[in-house]
Structure 1
Amino acid sequence: MEEAQKILAKAAAMNKTILPPGMLILDRTAKIDEHYPLLDTSLLSSARERKCSPENYLSSLFMIFSSKLRKTTLLLWFLYFSNTFSYYGIVLLTSELSSNQINCSSTVNFLKSAKDASLYRDVFITSLADLAGLVISAAILDRLGRKLTMKILCSLGFILLLPLVVHQNEILTTALLFGSRMFVMSSSNAVVIYSREVYPTSVRATGVGSATSIGRIGGMICPLVAVGLVRDCHQTAAIVLFEAVILLTGFCMLFLPIETGGKGLSDTTSLLNEE
């Protein structure tokens, strides 16, 4: 406070005047606020009403479908849907494919294999893929950029899941599911980070929130494929469907408009330049 007092005194001397009487204190703002409680309360309440008005939500929703953001929004909606569909599908496939005792012709044999201790071991091992996926995405995301990272990880997930089109032994199945889950998880993380950077601040919450909601739909649909088809002895059809979804995911990544790595965040759509 003494330094502030000296600066004010110096400024007053330069302007050939004197400071008003009194001492500079730290809680002057708090004392002023106490004299105008009704004014502050009304201003805060009106601000809350403006923030919570339905018109603001609708305008933000329309904004993400503007000419500059329409392509980005539709691509991110599909990427969230496909990544969630693929990830949770692989999680559910672990319990369906990790045991070599599955016999499609006998429900009893299937129930026995589900209770086998190896099933829980395989599920635990593949669950560690999430941790490995986080490490991989954190290690290469800033070095390779968002778009290139997504493409590489998505391609690796596709390659590792491909051998499961035919029945494999338990060890190989667990290893392939581990690797595929790890890379799909990493790719999903890259998409999430990209979506938070590509939208301007004014519509970021709306854009990311809507994409996340679409992704939840993919998570609800995938059990019908991962569990239903495999239990009906259609493992090949289930894997081919997941591979097709991952392939479309990688194809859509090619059309993402801009690379956000190393760039500042835009505040409004007028500052957003799409290629």
Structure 2
Amino acid sequence: MAQQEEEEDGLVYTLEEALTSVGIGKFQYMALCYAGLGFIAEAAETQILSFIGPALRSQWALSPTQESLMTTIVFVGMLIGAIFWGFISDTYGRRKGLLSVAIVTAVSAALSAFSPNYSLLLVVRMLVGFGVGGRPIYGSWFFEFVPSQNRGMWTTICIGFWTIGTILEAFLALKIAVVNKAQLPPGKLVSSQLTKELLSPGKNKISSVKSGFSSLLVLLSPALRRNTLLLWVVYTGNAFSYYGIVLLTSLFSSGRCQRSSIALHTNDDQSLYTNVLINSLAEIPGILLSAILVEKVGRKFTMALMYALYFLFLLPLLAPQLPALTTALLFGARAFIMGSSITVCVYCEEIYPTSIRSTGMGVATSAGRTGAMLSPIFAVQLVRGCHQMTAIISFEAVLVLSAVSVMLFSLETKGRELIDTLVL
């Protein structure tokens, strides 16, 4: 009876109502900065792939297949890590998951800087991928402290820290090229993995599932199956397209297509790093546009628009273009694929209940890693083999499939309150 009187007096709040009442404050800003470190770390470790391959191709006489494997093996680790860390976070809590991810990533990244040969480097880089595969935990953790009316914009800003990581990595590589006038020597690869200090998020009571298997059953339950499968397709397509643009930037910067390994000169290195830096900056307008549209027109329409613009910018690259035009087209394509990738993360976090949110994000991200693993094959192998048109057609086809999947999502999550559990 007393509880009913309290409810009538408006003294009982749901978590969503409390967040809406309090709004964005100091805690959210601190959480944003901490979660952003996770995105910076993954972005830096991903961006460095654009530089490791070309540098070691000449230093260690790597074949195109070995160069592609340098990238693919990292995404293999990410694929495994995304699922593993999602289960850990939902079962044992976000804080333990975040701490474990930070330790594994920092240690393996440090070891990769001292790898003496190709085989050992592959092993430790896969471990780095396994560590940074836990990045979705950062997003899920921050996401749960943001009120629904601001969720799309603030989640976009949080994911935008990824771009800071890519810019820092590209700037560091360019600085090294200018100062040292030489490539990175084998065995002394510079890893810009950021060591992260954990803020204490306090006790966050999470309704968790008993095992990873039961979590998967919930993800594939009738209520979620359609959107879950479509999300896996979209994540795969986004990863394939995004990392394809990253790799195409470095490939087109060489100004040649070839199967053999030819040493790059210093000027070529500086041109590569400059182009990568320029295209990293492209993510900023993509993030800003996504942050505006996601709350104005909704998640689905924003993704569809980004795909259409990406398609148009990539289309002229079916044939070789002048260097300046190629850079401009890649700039626009990267901006829009980044905007789409951020928006689908917002959608994914809103579609799942709290009890399996990290698992859902982790599995979707892991599915996306398959696209990231395939991307080097179509980018590196085809472009170096002088099959640029085939490579671009492949990226466009995957993009169309992703766009169709977005249109088939069963609901729009704009303004939707978070749910804690799913009643099956």
**TM-score where L is the length of structure 1:** 0.74
Displacement, 1:254? Answer: 0.8
The answer to whether the aligner puts 1:181 opposite 2:334 as a matched pair is yes
CA distance in structure 2 between the aligned counterparts of 1:125 and 1:160, rounded to whole angstroms: 16
1:149–1:246 distance in 2 versus 1, CA, 3 Å: same
Name the counterpart of 1:237: 390
CA distance in structure 2 between the aligned counterparts of 1:145 and 1:212, rounded to whole angstroms: 22
Name the counterpart of 2:380: 227
The answer to whether the aligner puts 1:149 opposite 2:298 as a matched pair is no
CA distance in structure 2 between the aligned counterparts of 1:74 and 1:57, rounded to whole angstroms: 17
CA distance in structure 1 between the aligned counterparts of 2:387 and 2:267, rounded to whole angstroms: 18
C-alpha RMSD of the superposition: 2.5
CA distance in structure 2 between the aligned counterparts of 1:132 and 1:195, rounded to whole angstroms: 22
Name the counterpart of 1:63: 218
Name the counterpart of 1:159: 312
SS at match of 1:153: helix
CA distance in structure 1 between the aligned counterparts of 2:298 and 2:416, rounded to whole angstroms: 11
CA distance in structure 2 between the aligned counterparts of 1:90 and 1:251, rounded to whole angstroms: 21
The answer to whether the aligner puts 1:170 opposite 2:338 as a matched pair is no
SS at match of 2:292: helix
Contact kept in structure 2, 1:226 and 1:238, CA below 8 Å: yes
Larger Rg: 1
Name the counterpart of 1:25: none
- Number of matched pairs: 221
CA distance in structure 2 between the aligned counterparts of 1:205 and 1:73, rounded to whole angstroms: 13
Contact kept in structure 2, 1:95 and 1:114, CA below 8 Å: no
Displacement, 1:266? Answer: 2.2
Decide which of 241, 247, 265 is 1:86's aligned counterpart: 241
CA distance in structure 1 between the aligned counterparts of 2:359 and 2:275, rounded to whole angstroms: 39
CA distance in structure 1 between the aligned counterparts of 2:361 and 2:406, rounded to whole angstroms: 17
Deviation string 1:82-141 (CA, Å, 9 cap, x unpaired) is 101110010000011245x42549865x84598253332211111101222221211211
The answer to whether the aligner puts 1:102 opposite 2:256 as a matched pair is yes
Decide which of 130, 134, 139 is 2:292's aligned counterpart: 139
Q: Aligned ranges for residues 1-150 of structure 1 at < 5 Å?
A: 55-99=210-254, 101-102=255-256, 104=258, 108=262, 111-112=264-265, 115=268, 117-150=270-303
CA distance in structure 2 between the aligned counterparts of 1:58 and 1:116, rounded to whole angstroms: 47
Contact kept in structure 1, 2:209 and 2:215, CA below 8 Å: no
Deviation string 1:184-211 (CA, Å, 9 cap, x unpaired) is 0000000000000011222222211110
Contact kept in structure 2, 1:80 and 1:214, CA below 8 Å: yes
Deviation string 1:4-37 (CA, Å, 9 cap, x unpaired) is xxxxxxxxxxxxxxxxxxxxxxxxxxxxxxxxxx
Q: Which amino acid aligns with 1:199?
A: Y
Q: Name the % identity.
A: 48
Unaligned runs of 5+ in 2: 1-90, 93-205
Q: Which amino acid aligns with 1:86?
A: S
**TM-score where L is the length of structure 2:** 0.49
The answer to whether the aligner puts 1:247 opposite 2:408 as a matched pair is no
